[in-house]
Structure 1
Amino acid sequence: MIIYVETGKITPVNGTAFDFTTAKTIGKNIDDKEEQLKFGKGYDHNFALNPHDGNKAIAKVKSTLTGIILEVYTTEPG
């Protein structure tokens, strides 16, 4: 069994499969050849967030079928 340990390194996501700074289909880049997609077997990673107080959604997911929206709020850093 392989265990991956957090290093504390924060890697920029701009232009990668992990770039969710603008809306896109979650599976759009899941088959990209990025090493981190293989390590986490997908998007199972810690996402470091800019400081926030929990009053603004840090993520939104919308169904293209029904239009229902899930908003995620947190006071945690990642």
Structure 2
Amino acid sequence: MPRVDLTYPPRLLSAPQAARYIGISETTLRTLGLPRRILGTRRLYDRYDLDAFADGLEVEDSAVDQLQRDQAECDRLFGIVG
């Protein structure tokens, strides 16, 4: 049976790795107040915390969403009931 080489990304990341992971600078990362895990003398960011932070960011509206809101507002202004 052939050996399968499984590679996993690290769960705990240094500040430079964590910043790169979510696409921001280290300076910005440090201002977010995200929790860090302590491993010996190292302070590391958990990928799960980084993912939760990114998941909680506001999502930009698509053009379709804006069009639907505009249509609903026009309907409301002109008393159209759908």
Say which structure, 1 or 2, has more relative contact order (CA 8 Å, 6+ apart): 2
Structure 2 length-normalised TM: 0.23
Structure 1 length-normalised TM: 0.24
From the two aligned structures, give the one with the greater helix fraction. Answer: 2
Greater Cα radius of gyration, structure 1 or 2: 2
